[in-house]
Amino acid sequence: MSLRVKICGITQPEQGRAIAQLGATALGFICAPTSPRYVTAPQIATIVANLPINLETGKPCCDRIGVFVNADLDLICQTVALGHLNGVQLHGDETPELCNRLRQALPDVELIKALRIQSAIALETIPQYQNSVDALLLDAYHPTLAGGTGKTLDWSALQQFCPTIPWFLAGGLTPSNILEALACLHPQGIDLSSGVEISPGNKNMNQVAQLFDVLNQRAASPTLI
């Protein structure tokens, strides 16, 4: 399976379209009002409407994932409908029980649970989520920020990490360190936000292009894997 590449914190329609055209398999939209990358459901809908269409399916060419932090279940469902999302990422303290409720409410929507890893102890909570969500996302811990911190995880401490469901690596990834990260670990997806930004919500398109150049070179050369 090819590596999934999610670029998170999209706020501008033209950037969303360009990033999808460069090869992103998913765009992430921050639905937490306290975030500097926050976008409303109507703003998401505008960005999604501007995405390239897959001619075979008639749908946008990449996944559209809303990122929520301890949000009300009804609000999540409403945002998914209004924003034409096909994925939900829970980036707060959501319980497996809430994940199960959300899965029942949105059976056709991909559900991703993000976990901020401060120490090995945090990994011990993961098994309880594996039957409740479709994928996991590991992010760096910050005492006050839920994501987009620019901090990297201790990749060496994750080398034995092998959950029963797919997982994304996040946390301080950049075009400069992505090959090192993928040499250490074997996630099914990667998630970048601050590592390809000029400022929160304003992507550095040169860095995004550089990221895909690096990943394409890796895919073409076994010696880089």
What's the rounded Cα separation, in Å, for the pair 19 and 117? 28
62 is catalytic: no
Query: In the chain, what percentage of residues exceed pLDDT 70?
Result: 91
CA pair distance 13, 17, nearest whole angstrom: 6
Pairing label, strands 197-199, 202-203: antiparallel
Active-site choice (8, 31, 62, 99): 8
What is d(CA 88, CA 68) in angstroms, rounded to the nearest whole number? 7
Q: What is the CA radius of gyration of the chain?
A: 16
**Whole-angstrom distance, CA of residue 111 vs CA of residue 164:** 15
Mean pLDDT of 95-106: 97
Q: Is the model's pTM score more than 0.75? A: yes
The one-letter code for the residue type at 207 is: Q
Catalytic residue among 31, 63, 99, 139: 139
pLDDT in tens, 116-150: 886 666 688 889 999 999 999 999 754 444 444 55
DSSP 54: P
| Mean pLDDT calculated for residue range 203-223 | 91
Q: Which CATH architecture has domain 4-224?
A: Alpha-Beta Barrel (3.20)
Is 139 one of the annotated active-site residues of the chain? yes
Q: Which H or E run includes 104? A: helix 96-105
